[in-house]
Structure 1
Amino acid sequence: MSDDEQHNQTFDQGSAGASLTFPMQCSALRKNGHVVIKSRPCKIVDMSTSKTGKHGHAKVHLVAIDIFTGKKLEDICPSTHNMDVPNVRRTEYQLVNIDDGFLNLMTQDGTAKDDVKVPEGEIGTQISAGFDEGKDLLVTIVSAMGEEQAISFKEAPKGS
């Protein structure tokens, strides 16, 4: 193998450059904002700051809920350090069908999306029941760090 062949690499996938997270100073985080704890996107439900100690850093104690699993996570971070904040996107889709445990959705411009599972628990039951009754439903999908999940739904206004 020649030296040139060693450097020939094939990249199968590229992204649009949109990062999954962005850094933010711990002291700038706010309640009801988002943060990454233990590699999971979370919503901050409580935070408190301790006084500066003998070694000079105020510490921020974060209590957050995983936005996909609902699990409570905690972290303590010096207020001057950066933490990752997930890019969280909420998108509303028209529900077209429910097929094999997946929601068949459509965007405003007619693009099909059928890779989101029917959520477990009460919300999934309510979506299925509403669809079975023949209601036009708009489902809100939250996506962050490569994961997606239906978090809420509402009946579409008539005439849409």
Structure 2
Amino acid sequence: MTEESFASSGAGAASCYPVQCSTLRKGGHVMIKGHPCKIVNLSSASPGKHGHAKIQLVGLDIFTGSRYEDSCPSKHTMSVPEVNKNEIHVLSVAHDGYISLLLENGEIRRDLKVPDNGLGKEIHDRIKQEEDIAVCILSACEQEAIIGVKKLHFDP
């Protein structure tokens, strides 16, 4: 008896699902050229004499902001990434830029860096002021990024 072997796919393929191109909408997400993107423009070109309607897509990478374009026949499928947002309580920020987060199960996570932008400065400033804050973490295709911060309000 021979054992079956299966090839694995990379680039976060398991965290995507197929969707018919004609059902995509502006503001939604789609994979364009291997990048998880938010759709910022969507237009359709009418079919030619022997062709199918084509959908023109413009998207911004949800992590880098880079612009990507693609077109697809309306009846074909495209990959849509699983995009998740989580708010997690911040404990501290280390000198090397890694942030300590308190997870719901009580464990501490220390594998994310504070962004090198205005948001990162805001996080550092709020920690110095000893505010109780949470960060919003966006995750898709085995990538994560801190995209927001907010003050926590505890009910007495």
Give the TM-score normalised by the residue count of structure 2: 0.87
1:152 aligned to which of 142, 148, 151 = 148
Q: Which amino acid aligns with 1:110?
A: G
Moved over 4 A (4+): none
Whether 1:127 and 2:123 are equivalent positions in the alignment is yes
- 1:77 corresponds to which letter in structure 2? C
Q: Percent identity of the aligned residues?
A: 42
Q: Is 2:32 the partner of 1:37?
A: yes
- The Cα of 1:117 is off from its aligned counterpart by 1.3
Give the root-mean-square deviation of aligned CA atoms.
2.1
Task: Point out the more displaced range, 108-117 or 91-100.
Answer: 108-117
Retained in 2: the 8 A contact 1:92–1:107? Answer: no
Quote how far apart the aligned CAs of 1:111 are.
Answer: 2.5
Aligned equivalent of 2:112: 116
User: What is the distance in 2 between the residues matched to 1:38 and 1:89?
Assistant: 20
Residue 51 of structure 1: CA displacement?
0.5
Gaps of 5+ in 1: 10-17
* Match 2:64 to one of 42, 60, 69: 69
Does residue 101 in structure 1 map to residue 97 in structure 2? Answer: yes
> Residue 55 of structure 2 corresponds to which residue in structure 1?
60
Amino acid in structure 1 at the alignment position of 2:131 = K
Q: State the one-letter code of the partner of 2:33.
A: K
Q: Aligned partners of 1:111 and 1:29: how far apart in 2?
A: 38
TM-score normalised by structure 1 residue count: 0.85
Of structures 1 and 2, the one with the larger relative CO (CA 8 A, separation 6+) is 2
Post-superposition CA distance 1:52-74 (Å, at most 9, x none): 11232111111111000011111
Shift of 1:89: 0.8
CA positional deviation for 1:101? 1.2
SS for the counterpart of 2:116 is coil
Partner of 2:9: none
